[in-house]
Structure 1
Amino acid sequence: MDTQNKNTCKQCGNCCREGGPALHVEDLEIIRSGQGPDLVHIVTLRRGEHAYDQVTNSFAPLKEELLKLKGSQGTWTCTFYSNEAAMCTIYEHRPSECRALNCRAPEELYEVYTHERISRRDLIPQGHPLLELIDEHERQCPAEEIARLATPATTGDAEAAERLAHMVRYDDEIRKLVPEKSGMDPEGMDFFFGRPVRTLLRQFATAVNIEKGGKMVFRKIPKGQ
């Protein structure tokens, strides 16, 4: 195989189906230009929540928050990948990880994988009123505590269940109120507040159910569901 063929994308889409890229300092220009991803296309993975690490091929708690392009239609497939056309719809303005990725030589991606990742504060102007609300959401719904309480809440620990119920309700309400009061697109809430608490609980096979009278209970999700 000659060098040109080795470095040419096969356009198989496998990389795009495995998940959108994390975003780095090099991506700030394309985001701010309006030609690449917008905030509604970005999801924040918060410090302490479990996430898949492509390099180590494992799930582990994040030591710091990172931003990724969202998946589409409930899958990890990058929101900008078109299955019909078998191509990236923002190819000329794709993020740096996508530019570095060569499935025949993944070492190039490893070099940039953890390099200067960006966080919400790199994209939200200093003094923006939502920054205080983001900080309060972090205090009320810390990802580390969600992970710690998920299993106890399903096995009879009333205190854990009560604490989790508070977090679910707070998180649900803030995602509803911010778009109502500000006119922001509800799709942008995953950027401002990360993935919903209900979604994070499903990582630990924990489902949220509402019983008669409005009581919130937590159940283990059977394997395979």
Structure 2
Amino acid sequence: MSPRKFTGKIRTDPWESLARGPREVMASLWDEYLTDVLPGSKKSARFRGLRRRIEEAAGYDEIFQKWNSLAPEGRAQAWRRLLEAARLETEAARRVCLRCGECCENSSPFLLVSDLPLFLQEVLTWNEVYALPRGDLVVTREGQPLILKEERLRVRQVLGSRQCWFYQVVQKRCRIYERRPEQCRRWQCWDEPPEPESSEFLTREHLFGQIPKIWDLITAHQKRCDRTQVREVLARLAGGEEEAGDFLFEALHFDHHLRQMLLREWNLSTAATEMLLGRSLVDFLHALGYKATLTPEGVYTLRPGEQE
């Protein structure tokens, strides 16, 4: 009696499929196995990174290339090698940062008081960090909008994305990994990281509170361009109170001229002005769905626009 032909129904009897099927069948079963046992989505950077480590440890490429020529006993040994590598690598990486980029591609860290030395060491400068005053709008690592109840300082993100300024996607590396901020060290893509205490967050006062020339400028701007008050004014304007707009238009002009002064007289970069003052009021309004435009006559106009 001639042996049965392999039918290609790999999930009816996976062990027969491994013993008799071609390497493409093995690859399909291996993919399903990893999807079942590894944490997270197949598209996540952590999943991909852990899979790469497992397959390197087990010699997956060699197994795949030789699979068709292996006898059933050899296939069984190779499959056990894959399973053992999966077990060992998964256990070793259970609560360890794999430097996969999952956190780095989806967010940048808020700075904590313990990060102050990074400025003294010039790991961080005014050009890589920006202020988020109370009432500002941010997007969390999970992609959810959040209105800040208190001030934060944050490492910049690559324009048009949520990727951290210091993360290099192609090389899959952080440019300052060995001296990365504290929140980066605490993040856990395999679990929900604990939220820092309010007292831990670094603010502009920690950096500039003892420098009157800078601190007076920051506090004056905060008073005249307060984000929370801007939100209240927008709500009143939406309710038909046109006179409420006086505060907003004065704030827009003050914000604009102060930034121009910092650019011209202090020779700061645009990025550095955002370290002192936060993002411009024009950008803040854009995030809320309004477009503020400075006319050639030097007057701001405001109209609904596209919300971020």
CA contact 1:21–1:68 (8 Å) conserved in 2: yes
Count of aligned positions: 220
With over 3 angstroms needed to count, the CA separation of the structure-2 counterparts of 1:200 and 1:26, relative to structure 1, is same
Q: Work out whether 1:197 is the aligned partner of 2:281.
A: yes
Are 2:89 and 1:5 equivalent residues in the alignment?
Answer: no
1:85 aligns with 2:171: yes
Q: Residue type matched to 2:137 in 1? A: H
Offset, 1:135:
0.9
By relative contact order (CA 8 Å, sep 6+), the higher-ranking structure is 1
Contact 1:31–1:38 (8 Å) recurs in 2? yes
Query: Residue type matched to 2:111 in 1?
Result: L
Q: Who is 2:107 aligned against?
A: 19
C-alpha separation between the residues in 2 aligned to 1:130 and 1:115?
22
Question: Residues of 2 paired with 1:215 and 1:175: CA distance?
Answer: 16
Matched, 1:135 2:219: yes
Query: 154-163 vs 122-131, which deviates more?
Result: 154-163
**Contact 2:290-2:306 within 8 A present in 1 as well:** no
Q: Report what 1:188 is aligned to.
A: 272
Helix, strand or coil for the counterpart of 2:208?
Answer: coil
**What is the rounded CA distance, in whole Å, between the counterparts of 2:266 and 2:235 in structure 1?**
36
Q: CA RMSD in A?
A: 2.5
Query: Aligned AA for 2:92?
Result: Q
Q: Give the gaps of 5 or more residues in structure 1.
A: none
CA 1:212–1:30 in structure 2 vs 1: closer, same or farther (change >3 Å)?
closer
Aligned partners of 2:110 and 2:153 also within 8 Å? yes
The CA deviation at 1:134 is 0.7
Residue identity matched to 1:63: K
Aligned equivalent of 1:100: 186
Q: CA deviation at 1:131?
A: 0.8
Query: Percent identity among equivalent residues?
Result: 23
- Relative to structure 1, is the Cα distance of residues 15 and 134 closer, same or farther in structure 2, using a 3 angstrom cutoff? same
State the 1:222 CA deviation: 4.3
Query: Is the alpha carbon distance of 1:160 and 1:84 closer, same or farther for their aligned partners in structure 2, counting shifts above 3 Å?
Result: farther
Q: Alignment partner for residue 46 of structure 1, among 122, 125, 133?
A: 133
CA distance in 1, matches of 2:212, 2:234: 33
Aligned match of 1:179: 263
* Greater helix content: 2
Q: Following the alignment from structure 1 to structure 2, what is the Cα–Cα distance between the partners of residues 152 and 32?
A: 44
User: Bigger shift: 207-216 or 81-90?
Assistant: 207-216
Change (3 A) 1:218 1:47: same
- For the 8 Å contact 1:146–1:200, the answer to whether it is kept is no
Partner secondary structure for residue 123 of structure 1: helix
Measured in 2, the distance between the counterparts of 1:214 and 1:62 equals 31
Q: Deviations over 1:32-54 (max 9, x none)?
A: 212x2212111111112233455
The answer to whether the aligner puts 1:150 opposite 2:234 as a matched pair is yes
Task: Please list every run of 5 or more consecutive structure 2 residues that lacks an aligned counterpart in the other structure.
Answer: 1-86
Distance 1:156 1:16 in 2: 43
Distance 1:80 1:113, change over 3 A: farther
SS of the residue aligned with 1:78?
coil
Contact 1:154 / 1:206 at 8 angstroms: preserved in 2? no
Contact 2:104 2:163 in 1 (8 A): yes
Residue 197 to residue 45, structure 1, CA distance change in 2 (3 Å): same
